[in-house]
Amino acid sequence: MRIALVGNQNSGKTTLFNQLTGSNQHVGNFPGVTVDIKRGKLRGNNKLEIIDLPGIYSLLPYSEEELLARDFITNQNIDAIINIVDATNLDRNLYLTLQLLSLEIPLVVALNMMDEAKNSNIFIDLNKLEEMLHVKVVPISALRQEGLLELIDKIQNVYKEKNIVNADFLFKKEEKIFNSIQCLKACFDKNNAIKFHHKYLAIHLLETDESSIPNILKKEDKEQLKEEIEKLENYYHKKHEEIFVEIRYKYIESITSKCVRKNNEITKEQKKSLNIDRILTHKYFGLPIFLLIIMFIFYLSFGSLGPLLSDLLATFLNDFNGWSKTILLNCGVSNTFVSLLVDGIFEGVGSVLSFVPTILILFLCLSILEDSGYMARIAFMIDKPMRKVGLSGKAFVPMILGFGCSVPAILATRTLHSSRDRRLTIFLIPFMSCSAKLPIYALISLVFFKAQAPIVISALYLGGIVLALLAALMIKLIFNSKPIPFIMELPAYRFPSFKSTTLLMWEKAKDFLKKAFSVILIASIAVWFLENFNARFEYVTDSNNSLLAIISQAITPIFKPLGFAKWEITASLITGLSAKETILSTLEILLGSASNICALIGPLESLSLLVFISLYMPCIAAFAAIKKELHSTFEAIMQMIFQTSFAWLITFAVYQIGKVMIMCVL
């Protein structure tokens, strides 16, 4: 039996899903679905599968998520629906419920946050509510695990008894609509191509016209539809969509007036939130407070706890590598194989493993921001400037995270609700110089510019931001794509549940490791191979004879117009793909000391090199993250190619302009 969990955003859907399935969940692979949908088996009952659909406000396909959720429910053989509803706000939550009922699938309403409702002196007459909705209503508190057994019991019963609501009750009093629905339904009954539920389709089409449904309608169906819509619009003197929305809201108003009794206009949580927001979204203090919070998160993940854990892990991995080397060599295993295993695989994978503590901490912080409701406020505050470049306020946090590490930043785009914004943000994140680039900037600019080094470093950071903004503007102009209008609920502030945040953190890390592992493993082996073998596939000890050297020498002419056509630099750029900090260690190996780079190139060339390093394709771990989030290897590779070519062009411009400027001065 497959049960879909459907509800508004911020209704506690994910918490309920986590409580029902425990750790018994994974991201499901559904055909044709690009948004991750989690599914899991009910705890203690393997026959019951629960599917967590994206949080939605309506079945109208307004965002990709809503289209997906609707198509999922109508196409994927769902046996029953649990509709989770926030008891503290029936006024809006029941809108989706009324739409879901028209699907005529077995459904139970889970009335969540009952504890909070009681706390705010909201009393709900459950019997009356069941009577008016014509479905079973189970009061629950997902957070406190109350009412969950009853919920599961009820949904199974409803399914077994095929106890399906007849959705007509909503239109009983509206004879004209009722007739139109019947008439269209009769048309559809004759059309075999239609796989949607006929009555739902009739209502949906009358409300939206045919544009949102693939071409399954016959000509006579379309004519009939047009006629019925005209009839309704003439009768009600309103646009057809308005008629349906108003009927639903009128019905909800009659429900709340009969079933809900409350003492205050707004709940305690809302009142508390309005008070908190006096400070957190304050006209002048709001943004500085946000910056402080972000700085604190950065400090935690990149300045204190993160590096501490990373270093511990790195030391351990280092020791582990040392031991395994000694043990394997003592056992008489061949030198080459030990080198492959330890220097290639262990070291490569280990360098990525050391990302994990940072990712964990960042995601812990992020999920607290998201679950508490603060993320929505950030989007609210920063939306206007972000919109200028074609993004919405929600894209801001992932972009900022990019200064720490592209990998968690890219994974964090998951919080964006439109696929368009997500793609654009993923595209822009690598422009933000990640923390691994700072040591490279520092060393090279210190060698060449000494006291002016801080200016150079700041310019590199700023340059990235400016280019990202320009790129975003360019994309906005080329594709003429408008950001989707910003209509966002500002949920009441809530204490995030420990379980949800830790589970989310664990999942992110697991996800990343699993998917990134294969890419990183291959890359590590490849780099090791290039460093240690020559063109005749013989093991070499002098890196000057290695394949890496040969390939680098072949590629190097590309960098001639950029001023740094030295194979040692090319080699470091190549190995830098496995992780950017490797650029320094490779230079170290090839030049004896990285500061010897001043023997190879001059100041202008070093500047050009720095620009190239700041812009060329991100490391393999970031590539893995991009591939994972875009659900496409091709698109991820295209992005890498674009970024590297873009980096080349910009660097070319910088170098040539620099040359001309120097000539003029001389």
- By CB under 8 A, residue 57 contacts other proteins: yes
Q: Counting every residue, how long is the chain? A: 666
289 neighbors 279 (Cβ within 8 angstroms): yes
- By CB under 8 A, residue 265 contacts other proteins: yes
Token pair 């000539």 is found at 663
- By CB under 8 A, residue 235 contacts other proteins: no
Q: Tell me the CB-side half-sphere exposure of residue 532, using CA atoms within 13 A.
A: 17
Q: How far apart are CA 654 and CA 94, in angstroms?
A: 58
- By CB under 8 A, residue 419 contacts other proteins: no
Question: Which of helix, strand or coil describes residue 434?
Answer: coil
CA 202 to chain centre: 34
Q: Which stretch binds other proteins (CB under 8 A): 242-250, 321-329, 600-608, 636-644?
A: 242-250
Q: How far apart are CA 511 and CA 624, in angstroms?
A: 11
- By CB under 8 A, residue 261 contacts other proteins: no
For the chain, the first-to-last Cα distance in angstroms comes to: 80
The smaller minimum CB distance to other proteins, of residues 228 and 605, is found at: 228
- By CB under 8 A, residue 284 contacts other proteins: yes
The smaller minimum CB distance to other proteins, of residues 58 and 553, is found at: 58
Q: Which stretch binds other proteins (CB under 8 A): 162-170, 265-273, 574-582, 610-618?
A: 265-273
Q: How far apart are CA 418 and CA 173, in angstroms?
A: 38
Q: How far apart are CA 346 and CA 326, in angstroms?
A: 14
- By CB under 8 A, residue 574 contacts other proteins: no
The smaller minimum CB distance to other proteins, of residues 146 and 233, is found at: 233
Query: Which residues, including other chains, have CB under 8 Å from residue 139's CB and lie 6 or more apart?
Result: 87, 111, 114, 124, 126, 146, 147
Amino acid, res. 169: F
Among 58, 372, 543, 632, binds other proteins (CB under 8 A): 58
99 neighbors 248 (Cβ within 8 angstroms): yes
Q: How far apart are CA 578 and CA 586, in angstroms?
A: 11
- By CB under 8 A, residue 381 contacts other proteins: yes
Q: Which stretch binds other proteins (CB under 8 A): 159-167, 278-286, 442-450, 473-481?
A: 278-286
- By CB under 8 A, residue 263 contacts other proteins: no
- By CB under 8 A, residue 287 contacts other proteins: yes
Q: Which of residues 455-514 bind other proteins (CB under 8 A)?
A: 485-492
Beta bridge mates, 80: 3
- By CB under 8 A, residue 596 contacts other proteins: no
Q: How far apart are CA 100 and CA 494, in angstroms?
A: 27
Q: Which stretch binds other proteins (CB under 8 A): 102-110, 320-328, 383-391, 585-593?
A: 383-391
The smaller minimum CB distance to other proteins, of residues 162 and 283, is found at: 283
Could you tell me the smallest distance in angstroms from the CB atom of residue 169 to other proteins? 20
Tell me how crowded residue 322 is: count the other CB atoms within 10 A of its CB.
11
69 neighbors 417 (Cβ within 8 angstroms): no
Could you tell me the smallest distance in angstroms from the CB atom of residue 11 to other proteins? 11
Phi, psi of 39 (to 5 degrees): -135, 155
Nearest to 622 by CA among 343, 291, 398: 398
- By CB under 8 A, residue 453 contacts other proteins: no
Q: Which of residues 72-91 bind other proteins (CB under 8 A)?
A: 89, 91
Tokens coding 620: 């393999």
Among 178, 235, 236, 249, binds other proteins (CB under 8 A): 249
DSSP at 564? -
Amino acid, res. 398: P
The smaller minimum CB distance to other proteins, of residues 57 and 427, is found at: 57
358 neighbors 405 (Cβ within 8 angstroms): yes
- By CB under 8 A, residue 371 contacts other proteins: no
The smaller minimum CB distance to other proteins, of residues 213 and 555, is found at: 213
Q: How far apart are CA 361 and CA 367, in angstroms?
A: 10
The smaller minimum CB distance to other proteins, of residues 240 and 508, is found at: 240
Per-residue CA distances from 84 to 4, 136, 170, 251 (Å)? 10, 12, 20, 19
The smaller minimum CB distance to other proteins, of residues 236 and 646, is found at: 236
Among 149, 186, 274, 466, binds other proteins (CB under 8 A): 274
368 neighbors 501 (Cβ within 8 angstroms): yes
Q: Which of residues 150-209 bind other proteins (CB under 8 A)?
A: 208
The smaller minimum CB distance to other proteins, of residues 20 and 247, is found at: 247
Question: Which of helix, strand or coil describes residue 482?
Answer: coil
The smaller minimum CB distance to other proteins, of residues 54 and 463, is found at: 54
Amino acid, res. 209: D
Could you tell me the smallest distance in angstroms from the CB atom of residue 489 to other proteins? 6
649 neighbors 467 (Cβ within 8 angstroms): no
Could you tell me the smallest distance in angstroms from the CB atom of residue 311 to other proteins? 39
- By CB under 8 A, residue 12 contacts other proteins: no
Beta bridge mates, 45: 42
The smaller minimum CB distance to other proteins, of residues 265 and 542, is found at: 265
The smaller minimum CB distance to other proteins, of residues 284 and 537, is found at: 284
Among 17, 95, 171, 512, binds other proteins (CB under 8 A): 95
- By CB under 8 A, residue 246 contacts other proteins: yes
- By CB under 8 A, residue 92 contacts other proteins: yes
The smaller minimum CB distance to other proteins, of residues 380 and 529, is found at: 380
Could you tell me the smallest distance in angstroms from the CB atom of residue 249 to other proteins? 5
- By CB under 8 A, residue 104 contacts other proteins: no
Tell me how crowded residue 365 is: count the other CB atoms within 10 A of its CB.
21
Q: How many residues bind other proteins (CB under 8 A)?
A: 44
Q: Which stretch binds other proteins (CB under 8 A): 29-37, 238-246, 348-356, 600-608?
A: 238-246
Nearest to 620 by CA among 592, 654, 581: 581
Contact residues: other proteins, CB under 8 A:
57-58, 60, 62, 89, 91-92, 95, 208, 241-242, 245-246, 249, 265-267, 270, 273-274, 277, 281-284, 286-287, 376, 379-385, 387, 485-492
